Amino acid sequence: MAEPTPRQYVPLTCHGHSRPVPHLSFSPLEKDEVYYMISACKDGNPMLRDGQTGDWIGTFFGHKGAVWQARLSPDASTAATASADFTAKVWDTHTGELLYILQHDHIVRAIAYPFDNSGMLATGGFEKKLRIFDLHEQKPISSPTSQNQVVEPVTIETSKAFEIGEGAHKEPIKFIVWTIDPTIIITASGDTLRWFDLPARRCIREAKLEGEIKSCELVYLAPAYSSATDIGGGLPVLAVAAGKTAYFWGGQRTEDELKRMTFSHGIASVGLDLKGRKVVVGEEPGTWARVYSWEDSKELDVHKGHHGPIWSIAFSPDGNLYATGSEDGTIKMWKNCDGFYGLWRGGVATGGSTE
């Protein structure tokens, strides 16, 4: 009996950026099943969107260089961006106002919030230093004008931050993952992952991978959607792309290797469908996203449509869609469930599956 054709839906395309999109991420799930997506872009203008529909909400203006990463805080009240202008910045997601400028001495490539604390940030980049900033220590000041309140952003120098694992990094830090255990942070630098113990401020483990790490993200579902039968047993899973191999770590401290999958092609990014047990990778060189089975590595689908490498893949907090960010300056959102969802109205897309 022939296997059923994969249910390929026409993706939603989000325009608005004028340069490559190196990173995108979703917020946690809020009440009423609401969540948001933020995208970093080399045009220097990160954008906030409705997570289900991709509709534009606002653009954060103020960086003077490419924005390499962008993340939303656990409560989605702030957004943090890492830029080539030697700063990381923190923004109010409701007003768009700049709240904090974290001044660095070189390009900032990576930024991360803790799992459940919107007042802390970790940064890293070309200084090869992992730093922790405590935003609680200084608050932006509001000053009244004739029209309304104006917020004066607070500038925090790196001397006010805590450096973790001094001298541990030999190459720029490109990704930072703050695990579900708030005392453990993971960095990706060159071809090496490092686990850091924050109270001890030192590196406790290193893992050298096949090649340069191109993407490194913690994948997790909202509590209402996760279960013990998911990949990782209901805990977050670290998904890493390096060379031709995707690596996955799980457990309470995200240090148990669950699996590695090696492909016939290089990969620029990797996403993980925890519930559907599928792996999505952006091929390199190339412009397609390929979908594989977690169990047997069989190719299930191919997503065509981007016109440049896919640098970032992120799943929504309910797992019902995922987004891809590309060198071509666009974001595409792909449906990952049956029936009605977001702007999709059910049924198989015209044109069918791409095989």
* Local confidence pLDDT in tens for the 355 residues of the chain: 444 445 557 899 999 999 999 999 999 998 888 999 999 999 999 999 999 999 999 999 999 999 999 999 999 999 999 999 999 999 999 999 999 999 999 999 999 999 999 999 999 999 999 999 999 888 887 655 545 677 899 999 999 999 999 999 999 999 999 999 999 999 999 999 999 999 999 999 999 999 999 999 999 999 999 999 999 999 999 999 999 999 999 999 999 999 999 999 999 999 999 999 999 999 999 999 999 999 999 999 999 999 999 999 999 999 999 999 999 999 999 999 988 898 887 544 333 333 2
The pLDDT value recorded for residue 148 is: 66
**Cα-based distances in Å from 269 to 90, 159, 217, 242, 265:** 26, 34, 9, 8, 12
* Cα–Cα dist 25/262, whole Å: 25
**Separation CA 263–CA 331 (nearest Å):** 24
Query: In this structure, is residue 42 part of a structural domain?
Result: yes
Q: At 144, which CATH number? A: 2.130.10.10
Give the max Cα distance, the chain: 74
Judge whether 351 lies within some domain.
no
Q: Looking at residue 20, what is its pLDDT?
A: 98
Total number of domains in the chain: 1
Q: Does residue 97 form part of some domain?
A: yes
Inter-residue contact 53 to 12 (CB < 8 Å): yes
Give the span between the Cα atoms of 2 and 21, in whole angstroms.
39
Is the distance from CB of 298 to CB of 290 less than 8 angstroms?
no
pLDDT of residue 352: 32
Q: Is 90 part of any domain?
A: yes
Range(s) of the domain holding residue 215: 12-345
In the sheet with 47-50, reading across from the earlier edge strand, the strands are: 23-26, 36-40, 47-50, 56-59
Q: What pTM does this model have?
A: 0.92
* 350 belongs to a structural domain: no
- Name the amino acid, one letter, at 200: A
Q: Is residue 354 part of a domain?
A: no
Question: Is residue 1 situated within a structural domain?
Answer: no
pLDDT at 350 (0 to 100): 33
User: Does residue 2 belong to any structural domain of this protein?
Assistant: no
Structure tokens at 267: 């990969």
| pLDDT at residue 274, as a whole number | 98
What's the rounded Cα separation, in Å, for the pair 145 and 277?
A: 54
